[in-house]
Structure 1
Amino acid sequence: MQNLLLLHGALGSAAMLKPLQEALQNNFSVYTLDFSGHGGKPLPQEPFRMELFVQDILHFLEQQQLSSTHVFGYSMGGYAALSLALQHPERIRSVYTLATKFAWSAEAAEKETKLLNPDKVAEKVPQFAAALAQRHAPQDWRQVMQHTAAMMRQLGQHPTLTPESLPQLQVPVQVAVGDRDTMVTVEETLWAYRLLPNAQLQVLPNTRHPFETLSIQNLTQHIRQFIGQVSVEPTEIP
């Protein structure tokens, strides 16, 4: 079976992708990983950076002895997958991104990081704070959030995916976004799609940003269909 790596988003963990992994395991050899500092993994000495997460993926591929793989990346996971594909296209067979924020600027980072104040989250959304505490234990979820905010500010100043770099990505990519996503716009997803030379665009109806609200059944079908399309050799196309 073909390899498929599932990548979680910011503040997420591999455990969140377990239902999707189980739904796809009859079709692919499915893998997941926790990025540094997520899902209970130790917080790194250095700050969160996209380069660090790219190294996490490369290290995992070496560990599992995977020469290449398809990738599904949710939110930040999609950004990391495409960043890796820029550097090591031979390791990535295709990338399916969902709810990935492409348009990073200082203004966008400021808007996103306003939501990442641990004290305010604990006060105003205690259930979310409790979920984060459980998800990242034994690490301090507040530190994970602060590290994430710092990474977003750095991305705002120095984005990896730009009008110059996106056209260099030759791997097949499907960029998907929910039509009711309040964190990632259809417009910025369309912007990325137009710059990618080998891409498909998918707007999912009645779909919001949080992964927990997604239909695993529908997402499984979309991923299978996309990988099925890109895996057909040119000689087999009727």
Structure 2
Amino acid sequence: MKPSLLLLHGALASEKQLKPLARQLAAAFDVRTLSFSGHGGQPLEAGTFSMAGFADEILRFLDEQRWEAAHVFGYSMGGYAALVAATQAPARFRSITTLGTTFGWSPAMAAQATAFLDAGKMRAKVPQYAAHLEELHAPTSLPALLEATSALMRGLGDAPPLTQANLSTLKVPVQVLVGELDTTAGVDTSQQFASYLPQAAFEIIMNTPHPLEKVNPDLLASRVAQFAGQF
């Protein structure tokens, strides 16, 4: 029986983002993906569109798959949600790999991250991207999705759920990957938070920015498979 592996997408994306990676890993793992609340056609509900809500969705998904424990890969926001879920139920996670996950949330960082999350500005400056988001997340409207995402990020800035205190007691193997050119997650902050984890591996992927499509797909698949294969 193949080991179980769940892939989690980033903000303003959906499980479609991870289908190429899923295909690469399918030979070695029983791979599943999910779209978080409000993403990829899933209903947007105020009570579930939060980091705590996304963490709950991960745990419910593991229950639905009847997976006692699973390996998880999370890109950006997906990695953060996986770690939040793991702080609540560590026994459900065999390993976690994060890529490009922003850890050092603060009010100032949240303000910077949400500055462009305005439907009017987005439609005016990057109309093709705005149209892509509207199609990807229908029937959720673009203004509703951006407003909910802004609220989520402000919540992270005001009260970050991942701290040195709870990460330092997390008994789950975690691999933290970050691109050398990733100014969103930041190399130094990623390394700092990796140092809090008692069972962590940290790697800088050279010449790589934040967007997932800019990451070498073969390298990423190999890193996920090799790390998960140890546990």
Interval containing the TM-score (normalised by the shorter chain)? over 0.9
Alignment of 1:54-69 (within 5 A): 54-69=55-70
Alignment of 1:79-228 (within 5 A): 79-228=80-229
Alignment of 1:48-59 (within 5 A): 48-59=49-60
Instruction: Tell me how far 1:105 sits from its aligned partner.
Output: 0.6
Question: Runs of 5+ in structure 2 lacking a partner?
Answer: none
Greater CA drift, 215-224 or 148-157:
215-224
CA distance in 1, matches of 2:126, 2:104: 27
* Contact persistence 1:69–1:94 (CA under 8 A): yes
Taking structure 1 as the reference length, the TM-score comes to: 0.94
Q: Percent identity?
A: 46
Instruction: Tell me how far 1:115 sits from its aligned partner.
Output: 2.1
* Contact persistence 2:37–2:48 (CA under 8 A): no
**RMSD (Å) for aligned C-alpha atoms:** 1.0
Alignment of 1:9-48 (within 5 A): 9-46=10-47, 48=49
SS in 1 for 2:112: helix
CA distance in 2, matches of 1:225, 1:141: 38
Taking structure 2 as the reference length, the TM-score comes to: 0.97
Per-residue CA shift, 1:119-170, capped at 9, x if unaligned?
A: 1111101121111112101221221111011000011011011121110111
Instruction: Tell me how far 1:47 sits from its aligned partner.
Output: 6.1
| One-letter code aligned to 2:13 | G
| One-letter code aligned to 2:92 | R
Instruction: Work out the number of aligned pairs and report it.
Output: 230
CA distance in 2, matches of 1:68, 1:190: 26
CA distance in 1, matches of 2:167, 2:60: 24
SS in 1 for 2:58: helix
* Contact persistence 1:47–1:151 (CA under 8 A): no
Instruction: Tell me how far 1:91 sits from its aligned partner.
Output: 0.4
CA distance in 2, matches of 1:92, 1:188: 24
Instruction: Tell me how far 1:45 sits from its aligned partner.
Output: 3.7
Greater CA drift, 210-219 or 30-39:
210-219
Instruction: Tell me how far 1:89 sits from its aligned partner.
Output: 0.5
Instruction: Tell me how far 1:48 sits from its aligned partner.
Output: 2.2
Instruction: Tell me how far 1:92 sits from its aligned partner.
Output: 0.5
* Contact persistence 1:23–1:220 (CA under 8 A): yes
* Contact persistence 2:3–2:70 (CA under 8 A): yes
Question: Runs of 5+ in structure 1 lacking a partner?
Answer: 232-238
* Contact persistence 1:78–1:96 (CA under 8 A): yes
The runs of 4+ residues in structure 1 deviating greater than 4 Å are none
| One-letter code aligned to 1:3 | S
CA distance in 1, matches of 2:223, 2:46: 38
